[in-house]
Amino acid sequence: MCASMPQIFLLMTDSEEIKCVKEFAQGNSRAFELLFLHYQPKLVAFIDGFIKDNEEARDMSQDIFLRLWEKRLECGEIKSFKAFLFKTAKFAIYNYFDHQLVNSKFVEQMLFAPIETISADESLFAKELQELIDFTVKNMPDQRRRIFEMSRNEGLSNDEIAQKLGISKRTVENHITTALAAIRKITGLAILLFGC
């Protein structure tokens, strides 16, 4: 039984996680506690990476787990708990910024070539990760986003972008470097915390 393994949150295998999720869905509070202990710190760090407010990130993660407990009967069929949490956290982040920024919209197109995957879990993770990359780009300062999209989407060189925008090539390079660093940070954090 999942609930009889007090160290499970330190080393939780896929089969142990599935067991815990099933027991939690049946109302086992110890199984829920173990899932919470295993994933809540990761969830806080992930959300905080976007909103830059640790206290708010903790509140948001608590809300996510509270809603999970309230809807536990619906959780028995979850195939991958970490993928489910990742998606839930993504929408919590979107909602946070939706309340912070009036009329915010999210990019619906792919920035990079599709990621080749070998399993349904990996495919879902790649799709969710791409949406977070799109979200990150959409929320960059206007000029940085424009320069990045001109480089990646339109295939323009740094010289061509500099000419079109009437700025120096160095400024273009700085914006692209900063944009890529932001994307690497988000993707690295997502893969570290929720990667399949």
pLDDT of residue 184: 77
Q: What is the pLDDT of residue 91?
A: 84
What pLDDT, in 10s, does the model give residues 127-183? Answer: 777 788 888 888 899 999 999 999 888 888 999 999 999 999 999 999 988 988 888
* Separation CA 72–CA 126 (nearest Å): 26
What tokens appear for 38 in the block?
Answer: 């295993």
Task: Supply the pLDDT for residue 191.
Answer: 65
Look at residue 6 and tell me whether its pLDDT is greater than 60: no
Any idea which architecture 1-102 has in CATH? Orthogonal Bundle (1.10)
Q: Taking a C-beta distance cutoff of 8 angstroms, is the pair 121, 83 a contact?
A: yes
CATH class held by domain 105-196: mainly alpha
Q: What DSSP letter does each residue of 39-106 carry, written as one string?
A: HHHHHHHHHHHHH--HHHHHHHHHHHHHHHHHTGGGGGG-S-HHHHHHHHHHHHHHHHHHHHSTT---
Amino acid in the structure at residue 183: I
Of 29, 20, 21, nearest in space to 76 by CA = 21
Q: Would you give the DSSP letter of residue 157?
A: -
Domain spans in the chain, listed from the N-terminal domain onward: 1-102, 105-196
How buried is 47 (Cβ within 10 angstroms: 0-12 exposed, 13-18 middle, 19+ buried)?
Answer: buried
pLDDT tens digit sequence for 75-127: 877 778 888 888 888 888 887 776 654 333 333 333 343 434 335 555 666 67
